[in-house]
Amino acid sequence: MSALAQTALFTLEAAPAAPVSGVPAGAFDPAAYDAALTGDSYGWLANLPGSPQPPACESCGQPMSLPAAAPVLWACPACHPGEAS
């Protein structure tokens, strides 16, 4: 690489001008945007279906329950009382 090419690597050029926006920044109300972005909070949860219907136990046919210790695992209170409570 020539000396001229090396000096060109470290030569500062004039910074380009900042882009100009066509809309003044003060023309919008930030509160209106905050309300639109926030939405209806958790109101959409009310439209979801209720609790799932418990499946029947494959062994005895009783409805299973969701234990408090692991509320994502169905357990039969008749066949597995220790796990269902």
pLDDT (tens digit per residue) in 21-65: 666 666 667 777 676 666 666 666 777 777 778 899 999 999 999
pLDDT at 60 (0 to 100): 94
pLDDT at 4 (0 to 100): 78
Distance CA 65, CA 76 (A): 6
pTM of the model: 0.40
Q: Give the chain's radius of gyration (CA, Å).
A: 33
